[in-house]
Amino acid sequence: MSICNDPNNVSTSKTKELIQLHTVIMIEFIVYCLFMLAIGLLSSKRDMGHSDFLLGGKRLPGWALAFSERATGESAWLLLGYTGFVFATGLSGVWVAVGISLGIIFSWLFLAKRFLRDAEEYNVLTLPGYLAKRFGTHGKVIIWLSTVLILCFMMFYFGAQIAGAGKTLFTVFNISPMVGMIISIIIVIILSYTGGFVSVVWTDMIQSIMMLITLVVLPIIALYQIYTNDLSISHALSTSSPGMDSWTGGLTGFALGLLLFNNFAWFFGFLGGQPQLSARFMALKNKKEAKTGSTVAIIWTLLAYSGAFMIGITALTLYQDQSFADVETILPFMLMDLVPPWIAGLLLAGILAAIISTADSQLLVITSSISEDIIRNALGIKVTEKQLVKISRLTIIVAGIVGLIIALTSESLVYLVVSWAWAGVGCTLSPAIILAFTWKRYSGIGVTATIISGFVSTIIWISSPLEAIISSRFSTFFIAAFFGIVFSFLFPDKSNKSEEAKPIKPIER
């Protein structure tokens, strides 16, 4: 009797293969994490002022900032959340990718250079700091409101990344999600604490490349498996849940309009309102670097989202008859099923890299909100550059622990938590940025109304049945914009004309 026909030998062989896979992945993951930590430690050896710690001193190349911005903008959301979303919804999930891709392209082509210019003109390091300086009369109120907004939603966004890391480690190594979250938060805190923005950008760049390789290679392997096993994507879609084989989800009329709006609505969060992304624009050195960054970011986006969509569709074809307790683990499951152990280890490291890259960037946003926006600008406390760096590092530790607690106690899906945070922060601050960039009559009270209405409407919307009808990502943007415009007409800035004629002189640091 041949070995392959002996059930005991087959079982033993599969067990050995599984042990080998986990061993290889574990070794590669440990080596990868050590490499990331080494970069952070090397970055920490040079002296850094507060501007270096938060924005890298505007010395980083545009292509590195583009890779960092893309890794920061996607993370667990793209690799776990979106692939699982397409697996569960079918072809209609493409409209999410369309909305996000157009938002990213728009932000790099039309907003990046403006952020670069205004960050230099107003001598600011953060998004709230820019709005406060731009509308100086109401600066204190604006900076408090925008900082509270960012802290409230960003902490949950950060917690979602840590929860995503726990899911991935559980799927790959069968490690308790709690242990996985603790391991992840330790790595994130060390990376952010040691080198600040510089170490985050360089590690992001490597992580962004790892993400892209995962998203491009895996669907190719999956398509090969479908072809060699004589499977059919169209047949799998048509025999799945109703509407899976339709680009419109099988809907018509008003229901179709809602589907398109809700999925496309991710677009509105990319219009300058995400502080962890706008920080990359503010860190650009010049227009030439902005152009380079735009090219890199757009190419990355088109490749990554095409790959993520195909992963969801091919997974539906390959695993149609299997049930998953959590569809957001479909990508790591595919890697372990389809790819040789040593390659799977590298690509799975890409998933964890994506999560870590967004988590450390969000941690820096939370840190800058406290050290730069609250302590330095809102409270006006006079501290030295070194003291601000120490405060930032202490904030990193405290915020990391709070984020871990949120991750451990939250049962929400990665997709939903990120969606709500996207509405609360991105779709509230985006209309403020767009109006500040394009409308001369936008006033300080208008900014205040934008932030308050966006914050309140998001909370009310996601807590009501309205969220199931129209996404808060759509409603928040237009509610915040509406109140910002109305209150700017009602309460115009008295100094508008003089400020337009003469740019505000940057405050010397």
The DSSP secondary structure of 168-225, one letter per residue, reads HHHHHH---HHHHHHHHHHHHHHHHHHHHHHHHHHHHHHHHHHHHHHHHHHHHHHHHH
User: What is the helix, strand, coil percentage profile of the chain, to 5?
Assistant: 80, 0, 20
Give the closest residue to 147 by CA, choosing from 162, 126, 161.
Answer: 126
- Report yes or no: 76 and 358 within 8 Å, Cβ to Cβ: yes
* pLDDT of res. 44: 60
The DSSP secondary structure of 312-381, one letter per residue, reads HHHHHHHTTT---S-GGGHHHHHHHHHS-HHHHHHHHHHHHHHHHHHHHHHHHHHHHIIIIIIIIIIS--
220 in a structural domain: yes
Q: What is the pLDDT of residues 49-102, one digit of tens each?
A: 666 676 766 788 999 999 988 988 877 678 888 898 899 888 988 998 998 899
429 in a structural domain: no
Number of domains in the chain: 1
Query: 405: domain CATH number?
Result: 1.20.1730.10
Give the closest residue to 423 by CA, choosing from 372, 370, 478.
Answer: 478
How far CA 300 is from CA of 71, 205, 305, 414, 461, in Å, comes to 10, 12, 8, 22, 33
Q: Half-sphere exposure of residue 119, counting CA atoms within 13 Å on the CB side? A: 25
426 in a structural domain: no
What does residue 48 show for φ and ψ, rounded to 5 degrees? -130, 130
Q: How far apart are CA 376 and CA 368, in angstroms?
A: 10
For residue 76, give the amino acid letter: A
Q: How far apart are CA 419 and CA 413, in angstroms?
A: 10
Per-residue DSSP letter, 426: I
How far CA 60 is from CA of 35, 153, 207, in Å, comes to 20, 28, 17
- Report yes or no: 148 and 311 within 8 Å, Cβ to Cβ: no
How far CA 435 is from CA of 183, 452, 501, in Å, comes to 42, 16, 18
Give the closest residue to 204 by CA, choosing from 383, 58, 363.
Answer: 363
- Report yes or no: 313 and 89 within 8 Å, Cβ to Cβ: no
Stated length of the chain? 509
Domain interval for residue 362 = 10-414
* pLDDT of res. 47: 61
156 in a structural domain: yes
- Report yes or no: 80 and 168 within 8 Å, Cβ to Cβ: yes
Two tokens, residue 471: 């996404």
* pLDDT of res. 199: 75
How large is the greatest C-alpha to C-alpha distance in the chain, in angstroms? 93
487 in a structural domain: no
46 in a structural domain: yes
100 in a structural domain: yes
The DSSP secondary structure of 51-68, one letter per residue, reads HHHHHGGG-S-HHHHHHH
Per-residue DSSP letter, 469: T
Two tokens, residue 153: 């939603």
428 in a structural domain: no
Q: How far apart are CA 418 and CA 81, in angstroms?
A: 9
pLDDT tens, position by position, for the chain (509 residues)? 333 444 445 456 656 666 666 676 677 677 777 777 777 677 665 666 666 676 766 788 999 999 988 988 877 678 888 898 899 888 988 998 998 899 999 999 999 999 999 888 888 888 888 998 888 888 889 999 998 888 888 887 788 778 777 776 776 667 777 888 888 888 888 777 776 777 778 878 887 888 888 899 899 999 999 999 888 898 888 888 888 888 887 766 667 677 777 777 778 888 888 888 888 898 898 899 999 999 999 999 999 999 999 999 999 999 887 777 777 778 888 888 888 877 777 777 666 666 666 777 778 788 888 887 888 777 877 877 778 878 888 888 888 888 888 877 765 555 566 667 778 888 899 999 999 999 999 999 999 999 999 999 988 888 888 887 888 888 899 999 999 999 999 999 876 543 443 443 433 43
Q: What is the pLDDT of residues 125-163, one digit of tens each?
A: 888 889 988 888 888 899 999 988 888 888 877 887 787
